[in-house]
Amino acid sequence: MSTLFQPLTALSGLPADAIGDVITFGNDQPLTLDSGAEIKPLTVAWKTYGTLNAQKSNAFLLCHALTLDQYAAGTHPVTGKPGWWSSMVGPGLPIDTDRFFVICINVVGGCMGSSGPHEVDPATGKPYGLNFPVITVRDMVRAQAMLLDHLGIKSLFCVAGGSMGGMQVLQWAASYPERVFSALPIATAARHSAQNIAFHEVGRQAIMADPDWQGGDYLIKGTTPRKGLAVARMAAHITYLSEAALHRKFGRTLQDREALSYRFDADFQVESYLRHQGAMFVERFDANAYLYITRAMDYFDLAADYGGSLAQAFRGSKTRFCVVSFTSDWLFPTPESKKIVHALNAGGANVSFVEFDTDKGHDAFLLDVPEMFATLRGFIGAAAQARGLNAKADA
């Protein structure tokens, strides 16, 4: 295996070591994609938390969602905020870093160090932009498997993730059943629905309609499609919340004013909030990466890879599954999780299914839902017991 490490410098404004660990595989180890194209050389960036035990049996892979990255815990180097699952991942928390070796890998196509449209194409010396090949969820998982091979981790104790992370969990369980001891797909689906694709298309059109997008060459031309990317985020952000949560947070409350302006300012708090969300997002995310990753989600249809039968994807699986949904999630509603559960049952798999009652919408998986913590702690603990993992990694 000829791999060479090289410091990553393409992510502007960050010290090279802020990304976590980075590997660039040799040209003899390309990532062959579902489209038939190759990424070579392939770069993968990841973060780890906790310690790998001597048997390498306590590796816990976290798969991140669309706009998240490898910073599941700790402090995010760009935003300065806590990692996306810092309520769940840490010493003594349900995903206990005293016990498990937690790995979170930036997806291929992303913009936090792994190969993606934002990175420099070694063949041209310029950012890939739209020359980056279209990737799929299965491609993301293949790249993760390559990294785990490199790390010598043959089998994962658990693969967990929400939303697009959950899609990767399902893909992992289907593609590498013998490598996945337990799987925790949360607020996800085995295929992207027409409605989900439609929302993503709105976002992509907003980005591409921004003159600063420059046909995808904005990095070369020195512009940033801020408005387009912000609108894409604003539209998407609505889908992450429930109507009840939006109403609870904002209602029809006015923003910094006593009366309606009779203009098109952000009269309402909810408008101001969405504008803020859009503006913040532009500071940390790459517009082309948003195009590629939303495309990967749209293309996801696990049953299609198994003759249209989702049960076939999991037939004979020895993996212990816990499928999780939230009552107010209308982006990945409970019936989508139930389809996964039915397929797992039909395949005779070991599956638990829990739906949590919350008004927090799709984003609930990232938020403080105490009942979810208790339940996942039980699932993970029982799986660890079945795996023979001790309470402490080195014990």
Partner 1 sequence: MLVRAPALRPELVRIADMVEPSSRVLDVGCGDGALLEYLARTKNVDARGIELSQAGVNASVAHGLSVIQGDADTDLVEYPSRAFDFVILSQTIQATRQPKLVLEQLLRIGRFVIVSFPNFGFWKVRLKLALSGRMPITGTLTHPWHETPNIHLCTIADFVALARELDARIDRALAVDESGDVRALSVPGYWDNLTAEGAIFLLSRTA
Residues that bind partner 1 in the complex, under the rule CB under 8 A: 320, 322-323, 341-342, 345-348, 350-357, 371, 374-375, 377-379, 381-382, 385
Given a contact cutoff of 8 angstroms between Cβ atoms, the answer to whether 272 and 113 are in contact is: no
DSSP-derived letter for residue 362 is G
Active-site entry in 21, 96, 286, 329:
329
Strands (DSSP E) found in 74-174: 89-90, 95-96, 101-105, 120-121, 126-127, 156-162
Closer residue to partner 1, CB minimum distance, 77 or 381: 381
Q: Least distance in Å: CB of 320 to partner 1?
A: 7
Minimum CB distance to partner 1 smaller for 40 or for 342 = 342
Name the 3-class secondary structure at 361: coil
Closest-CA residue to 158 (of 316, 308, 381): 381
362 catalytic? Reply is yes
Where do the DSSP E strands lie in the chain?
3-4, 21-25, 31-32, 38-39, 43-49, 59-63, 89-90, 95-96, 101-105, 120-121, 126-127, 156-162, 180-186, 320-326, 350-356
Residue 268 or 373: which CB sits closer to partner 1?
Answer: 373
Query: Which residue lies nearer to partner 1 by CB, 248 or 318?
Result: 318
Interatomic CA distance for residues 376 and 322, integer angstroms:
8
One-letter identity of residue 366: L
Q: Which is nearer to partner 1, 183 or 206 (CB)?
A: 183
∠ CA 334-250-277, nearest 5°, is 75
DSSP string, 264-287: SS--BHHHHHHHHHHHHHHHH--H
Q: Residue 118: which of 266, 237, 239, 9 has the closest Cα?
A: 9
Least CB distance to partner 1 at residue 91 (A): 19
The four Cα atoms 245, 246, 249, 254 give a dihedral, to 10 degrees, of -160
Closest contact distance (angstroms) between CB of 86 and partner 1 is: 22
DSSP 307: T
The one catalytic residue in 57, 96, 362, 363 is: 362
State in angstroms the smallest separation of the CB of 84 from partner 1. 23
Torsion, Cα 300 344 175 185, to 10 degrees, reads 60
Query: Catalytic: which of 163, 182, 325, 337?
Result: 163
Nearer to partner 1, 244 or 374 (CB): 374
Identify whether 64 is a catalytic site residue: no
Minimum distance of partner 1 from residue 269's CB (angstroms) = 32
Q: How far is the CB of 317 from partner 1 (least distance, A)?
A: 13
Sign of CA dihedral 119, 123, 126, 131: negative
Minimal distance in Å, beta carbon 54 to partner 1?
Answer: 24
Contact 117, 289 (CB under 8 A): yes
Q: Is 163 a catalytic residue?
A: yes
Which one, 177 or 347, has the nearer CB to partner 1? 347
Q: Which one, of 33, 108, 112, 100, lies nearest residue 61 by Cα? A: 100
Indicate which residues carry an active-site annotation.
163, 329, 362
